[in-house]
Chains A and B, each alone.
Chain A
Amino acid sequence: MQIYLPIAEISVNAFLLLGLGGMVGILSGMFGVGGGFLMTPLLFFIGIPPAVAVATEANQIVASSFSGVLAHLRRKTVDLKMGLVLLIGGLIGAGVGIEIFRALREIGQVDLLVKLTYVIFLGIIGSLMFIEGLNALKKSKTRAGKPAPRRGHLWIHGLPFKLKFRTSGLYISAIPPLAIGALVGILAAIMGVGGGFVMVPAMIYILGMPTKVVIGTSLFQIIFVTAFTTLMHATTNYTVDMALAVLLLLGGVVGAQIGTRIGLKMKAESLRLLLATLVLGVCGKLGLELLIEPSELFILGAGGE
């Protein structure tokens, strides 16, 4: 069944969009990532104009993250206090990021910078998680079920403004989570994603939060940052396509529910390894696109950008 998208001004198959939404939703629920880093390139591929894809994707992430976070809230795997601190940083970051995005757009190099940021960040994070995941898996096999001891982050413990995060079992300064939130906010605005794939590892490796709490907390923060981005896009660029968003999120919310259940049944280590593989896959694909000579050297864009 074909459906004409009023803002994107193209006609696409409705079931294709539902399917894409569902697939990405499953991953979103499993890993606590919004899935934007997968969905946005997929939308480009089916011919949605990039500006519409980025803005509409933000709207869809709100839905799948909200659906996912409810399941986590019920299981009490959301650190609300930590989420709020991250969110404050995130909103500041998103505001800064939107300004950077606007400046890059004027230079006309936004494409390249978005892709380069993807490749660099996905590459670093993917490799780190992969190595860490492999090590953890080895350890858990030798030491039958005993959790790996948490590494001490001495520099974090030396910072002022200490807060108690009961759910995460942490007593750390508010500065690192604020900084992480801000960094993710900037990236989220530039890359048009929720930023979960950066935040999840940062929470695990820098803040030392337990993996199970990380996913719910990340989803909680993503809801608000992407809602903010959606509103910004809707009011400044008019690029949020409601019809496209509804189709994607119908598939997405159902997928997220299934994904959350799959995620709870899996071991944290294998979850981490899977996410690492996925991140590295996307990174590799984008990297190749930059390195291999394209078959069409020219691209068309709307005038008056």
Chain B
Amino acid sequence: MIRILLALFLLASPAHASEKVIAGLSQNRVAITANFDGTGILIFGAVKREAPPPTTGPLDVIIAVSGPERPVVVRKKARVLGIWVNKESRTVSSAPSFYAIASTGPLPKILSKSEDLRYKITIPRMVAEKAAADGLSNIDEFASAVIRIRQHNGLYTEKGGKVNLADQTLFDTQIALPSALVEGDYKARVFLLRDGRVIDDFSKTIAVRKVGMERWIYNLAHERPLIYGLLSLAIAILAGWLASTIFRLLKLS
């Protein structure tokens, strides 16, 4: 039995090990400035081979970029005494703030279910897995509400066919990061697949940080809240006084 398994392994492994993915990003850092309005990240790479490409099945590439994971409280409205109120609520302990998948073809076609389970690639897998750990079933309405609402807001996207693959070797795609970007470490993952199975993967971190004025305001608000509050009030009073004075002068002249 062991011998048979070993033989199978030896037969199977060379085909898998012979293709490696090498990838790069157009930027490892995203700076959120005051006029930040979203940005695009170019993810590109190549398939490295020691031997000619195997003829077993088509080569596919999936690229996924995910934002920092945070807990989400999902509330469901129900009618009580004629008015709609938040009745039930569940907490999904962690869901990515942003998730974009691009691939060379439709995901159900190029990715097998077992591989999706293992690498957590598709959007439902990414969220439902976490929801299941919180005692929610995979098809739970609360978990799917997270996906539906975030898809509607453009935070979760899935684009089959958006990855260009040339000569079974070179690939690239553009991932758009929206303007409503949350600060944190984003993760870019590249999967190389053949026959629905992942044969190699690569991942890299993209640091999304507020800079300049944004950074200063954010830090002040969290580190010296009293000074921040007083400064906010001072700005408000000053603006109120300025407007009043300017208008009075305009009227007198």
Q: Is A302 in contact with B70, judged by CB distance below 8 angstroms?
A: yes
Which of B19-27, B71-79, B161-169, B194-202 lies at the interface? B71-79
* Of B73, B83, B179, the contact of A301 (CB 8 Å cutoff): B73
Q: How far is the CB of A235 from chain B (nearest CB, A)?
A: 4
* Of B38, B83, B233, the contact of A290 (CB 8 Å cutoff): B83
The answer to the question of A276 belonging to the interface, with a C-beta cut-off of 8 Å to chain B, is no
Chain B interfacial residues counted at CB < 8 A: 66
Q: How far is the CB of A176 from chain B (nearest CB, A)?
A: 29
Complex CA gap A204/B204 in Å reads 65
Q: How far is the CB of A124 from chain B (nearest CB, A)?
A: 17
Complex CA gap A303/B181 in Å reads 17
Beyond the given A10-B180, A243-B34, A298-B148, please list 8 additional residue pairs across the A-B interface where CB-CB is below 8 A: A2-B36, A7-B217, A7-B221, A67-B240, A71-B244, A234-B226, A253-B243, A290-B83
Q: How large is the interface on A (under 10, 10 to 19, 20 to 34, 35 or more residues)?
A: 35 or more
Q: How far is the CB of B83 from chain A (nearest CB, A)?
A: 4
The answer to the question of B14 belonging to the interface, with a C-beta cut-off of 8 Å to chain A, is no
Q: Is A302 in contact with B73, judged by CB distance below 8 angstroms?
A: yes
**Which of A70, A111, A242 gathers most chain B CB within 10 Å?**
A242
The answer to the question of A59 belonging to the interface, with a C-beta cut-off of 8 Å to chain B, is yes
Query: Which residue on chain B has the smallest CB distance to residue A233?
Result: B229
| Chain A residues near B (Cβ < 8 Å) | 1-4, 6-7, 9-11, 47, 59-60, 62-68, 70-71, 74, 108-109, 111-112, 227, 230-231, 233-235, 238, 240, 242-243, 245-246, 249-250, 253-254, 256-257, 289-294, 296-305
Q: Is B93 in contact with A303, judged by CB distance below 8 angstroms?
A: yes
Complex CA gap A292/B231 in Å reads 42
The answer to the question of B137 belonging to the interface, with a C-beta cut-off of 8 Å to chain A, is no
A4-B214 contact given A67-B243, A302-B73, CB 8 Å threshold: yes
* Of B78, B221, B233, the contact of A230 (CB 8 Å cutoff): B233
Complex CA gap A249/B233 in Å reads 11
Give the contacts of B48-75 with A (CB-CB under 8 A): 70-75
Query: Which residue on chain A has the smallest CB distance to residue B79?
Result: A293
* Of B77, B145, B213, the contact of A294 (CB 8 Å cutoff): B77
The answer to the question of B35 belonging to the interface, with a C-beta cut-off of 8 Å to chain A, is yes
* Of B82, B210, B242, the contact of A253 (CB 8 Å cutoff): B242
A299-B77 contact given A11-B180, A231-B230, CB 8 Å threshold: yes
